[in-house]
């Protein structure tokens, strides 16, 4: 068929290949003649052949952390970002290649580009560890297109060393704690995640800044650490119950909804109800926040939009679009007030 297109257009088969695969210089008049001939003959070139000619795989790689006995796809954080990445990739005719890496596994990201398995790479669940940093530095040094989601590798206010799509977790944390203080809470316990995530640092800093700004004392005993799992929140319930009973805490701010709901379950087993005996605020605004009883006040994070923005930036750059220069962005968050704080009346 390609020979017939060449004959009808009066050009060589090599010229037809250059036009249909979008590679190499071709005069505009010749290009239009080839396209008209192909349309007349009903010739549609193979997408695989086009990708091969352009040295493109058509795959957008997505790196996910491997955690034994944990279903990432049922986790709101990952499912929402994957949904955003996938919707943009599909709209641009690309496929997703999912890659799982355990904590101690090699970060062989550069090899994916060298083998032409991916055209760009989105990295989820990265941590501030030397293994991750070295792999990202190699990608940046070799000029491979990639983006890190929800991990900044820089202090707040500094430009990230790698292309990054993040959310304003500092402001989100401040808004959550300010809300608790505004409804009359004076002793806000804080359940944070591991320190090697930049969003944990941002939430901690936001918590501390609004507590200090409000003139309340900073009490290290109120600052607890989980691992972003429901179980870790549940396991902190005995300690939290003692604080509430002793008057040391009248509110809890958890750095994600899973820990908040775990703590709420554990406190309920000890006769303490969110919205009645203490105020409770989570973070992420996962589906579970709306399904909890009482419904959970939470900070809504645009994970889907973060994923879509990362894919759009990378795939637009891969397609040669001028507007797609590699960049970083920080998306806004917002507080959603529900029953777990909205019904709470602090004791005088």
pLDDT in tens, 134-173: 999 999 999 899 999 999 998 888 888 999 999 999 999 9
For residue 92, with 0-12 CB atoms within 10 Å meaning exposed, 13-18 middle and 19 or more buried, which class applies?
middle
What are the pLDDT digits (tens) for 223-253?
999 999 999 999 999 999 999 999 999 999 9
Q: Does residue 265 contact residue 238 with C-beta atoms inside 8 Å?
A: no
Token code pair at residue 328: 């970083």
335: enclosing H helix or E strand = strand 334-336
* Equal fold, 59-166+303-330 vs 169-301+334-342: yes
Q: What CATH code is assigned to 2-53?
A: 1.10.260.40
Could you state, in order of their start, the residue ranges of all structural domains in the chain?
A: 2-53, 59-166+303-330, 169-301+334-342
The CATH class that applies to domain 169-301+334-342 reads alpha beta
Give pLDDT tens digits for 106-121: 888 998 888 888 999 9
What contacts 254, CB < 8 A, 6 or more positions away?
A: 190, 191, 226, 233, 260, 263, 280, 281, 282, 283
Percent of the chain's residues with pLDDT above 90: 61
Q: What is the mean pLDDT of residues 2-12?
A: 78
Residues ≥6 apart with Cβ < 8 Å to 324: 312, 313, 314, 315, 316, 317
pLDDT at 293: 94
The DSSP bridge partners found for residue 204 are: none
CATH number of 59-166+303-330: 3.40.50.2300
Pairing outcome for strands 297-300 and 334-336 = antiparallel
């Amino acid at each position: 068929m390609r020979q017939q297109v060449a004959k009808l257009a009066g050009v060589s088969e090599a010229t037809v290949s250059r036009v249909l695969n979008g590679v190499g210089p071709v005069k505009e008049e010749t290009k239009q003649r080839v396209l008209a001939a192909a349309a007349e003959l009903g010739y549609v070139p193979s997408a695989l052949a086009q990708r091969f000619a352009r040295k493109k795989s058509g795959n957008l790689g997505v790196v996910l952390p491997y955690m034994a006995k944990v279903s990432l796809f049922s986790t709101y954080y990952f499912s929402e970002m994957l949904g955003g990445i996938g919707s943009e990739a599909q709209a641009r005719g690309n496929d997703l290649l999912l890659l799982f890496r355990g904590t101690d596994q090699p970060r062989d990201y550069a090899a994916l580009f060298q083998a032409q398995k991916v055209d760009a790479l989105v990295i989820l669940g990265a941590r501030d560890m030397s293994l991750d940093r070295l792999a990202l530095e190699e990608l940046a040094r070799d000029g491979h297109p990639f983006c890190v989601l929800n991990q900044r590798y820089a202090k707040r206010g500094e430009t990230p060393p790698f292309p990054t799509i993040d959310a304003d977790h500092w402001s989100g944390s401040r808004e959550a704690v300010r809300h608790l203080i505004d409804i009359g809470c004076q002793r806000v316990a804080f359940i944070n995640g591991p320190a090697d995530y930049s969003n944990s640092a941002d939430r901690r800093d936001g918590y501390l800044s609004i507590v200090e700004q409000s003139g309340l004392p900073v009490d290290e005993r109120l600052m607890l650490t989980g691992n972003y799992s429901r179980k870790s929140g549940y396991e902190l319930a005995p300690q939290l119950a003692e604080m509430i009973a002793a008057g040391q805490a009248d509110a809890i701010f958890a750095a994600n909804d899973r820990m908040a709901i775990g703590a709420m379950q554990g406190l309920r087993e000890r006769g303490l109800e969110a919205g009645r005996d203490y105020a409770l605020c989570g973070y992420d605004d996962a589906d579970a926040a709306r399904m909890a009883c009482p419904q959970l006040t939470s900070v809504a994070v645009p994970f889907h939009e973060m994923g879509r923005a990362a894919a759009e930036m990378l795939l637009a750059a891969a397609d040669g679009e001028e507007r797609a220069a590699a960049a970083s962005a920080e998306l806004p968050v917002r507080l959603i007030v529900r029953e777990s704080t909205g019904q709470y009346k602090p004791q005088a």
